[in-house]
Amino acid sequence: MTQPQHGPLAGLKIIDLSHIMAGPACGMLLADLGADVIKVEKYPDGDDSRRMVPPTVDGESAAYMILNRNKRGTAINLKSEAGCAILRRMLATADVVLENFRPGTMEKLGLGYDTLRAANPGLIYCQITGFGSTGPYADRAGFDLIGQGMSGLMSLTGEGPDRPPVKVGVPITDMTAGILGAVAILAAHVHRLKTGQGQKVEASLLEAGIMHTAWQSAIFFATGASPGPLGTAHPLAAPYQAIQTADGWINVGAANQANWLRLIEVIGVAELNSDPRFADNAGRMKHLPALIEILTTHLRQHSTAEWLARFEATGVPAGPVFSIGEMLNDPHVRARNMVVEVEHARLGKMRALGTPIKFSATPTAVTRAAPVLGQHTRELLREYGYSDAEIDQFAAGGDIVIGPGA
């Protein structure tokens, strides 16, 4: 059953043809903001992330469920004439279509932007790829690992020279490309409100990764030298990194002079400000290893919790290094509704991440768990004017998947 939509994008209809991560993350963000996002999965076994297991929850992929909440779901066979016809009917009245296939895939299906625009001039077509639709790498498949390597990110992560490259622990180019895709869609939507015209927008994993190299690219433009990995340290300010304590680690962000003076006062080494090596940021950056050795000697004398209490009392920016479990159980994270419960069609109540954007006048809500395969097929096809007899015929002919109870 269609649920009331909440949030600033209520009434916007998005057909989400994407799979795995970048596209689904984009669609999920827009669904969280209130859009009616219809996830169209491939026939017969759905999004590839359904098979990215373990872990599962009673047979349902955790990877799939985390990125597809707040969406309605169907599965359509785009290799069948009837399946393509169903999708064309859906796209004829859609506000947005989202896909992250290799460039050229939609054209081979007869569903490229120029074809769709002819039937629906207001359509916003969002394409998320590995490298964009032009340039020498346009035809390459896109994966987060490859994007991290080619964007320069993996030359910046890790501990230093002569150490293996280290990938950012989260799929940062995938997620960022998804966020950029959502930004592009919303900008195109504003343009359409003014002109009535849709357009094609693009985001890529490579360019999403490049965006994160702002500080390091600035250094290269200024000096001609490529920065290397610094562990947790900042390329332009110190001390700004994780430092060992008596029982773990603490992040210290004393990146400006005022915070530097507070830090050395609290830990009992105010004399460091008279040391010419550390008197200003340039000196601290130049002598960073010696500085961190001194700070570590003192911070190791007390626990992380003790230092956090002292730093908070004196205004020194600092924070713990949480595990995922510690983060999800943190009282502030819970107070910000970043862990929520939703009702899943098979599993009942389950936890999901909350919406990271808050609105005063048009609040968002996580109202749906990710759909089981074909969960809303019958509901959706009825909305698009198909009779139950036609829907049953499509299912029997291998054109759609109708999920349990649909």
Active site residue ranges: 174
Residues in contact with 121: Cβ distance below 8 Å, sequence separation at least 6, in sequence order: 196, 197, 198
Instruction: Round to whole Å and give the CA distance between 68 and 37.
Output: 10
Beta-bridged to residue 349, according to DSSP, are 343
Question: What does the chain come to in residues?
Answer: 406
Please name every residue paired with 177 in a beta bridge, in sequence order, or none if there are none. Answer: none
Look at residue 42 and give its three-state secondary structure. strand
Q: Which is it for strands 200-204 and 240-244: parallel, antiparallel or unpaired?
A: unpaired
Name which of 269, 258, 255 is nearest 298 in CA terms.
269
Reduce the DSSP state of residue 318 to 3 states and report it. Answer: strand
The helix/strand/coil state of 80 is: coil
Cα(237)–Cα(252) distance, rounded to whole angstroms?
A: 12
The single residue listed with the structure tokens 């460091």 is 272
| Rounded alpha-carbon distances, angstroms, from residue 290 to 66, 239, 286 | 43, 11, 9
Distance CA 136, CA 80 (A): 32
The sheet carrying 200-204 orders its strands as 200-204, 124-129, 96-99, 13-16, 36-42, 72-76, 400-401
What does the alpha-carbon distance between residue 194 and residue 126 come to, in Å, rounded to a whole number?
19
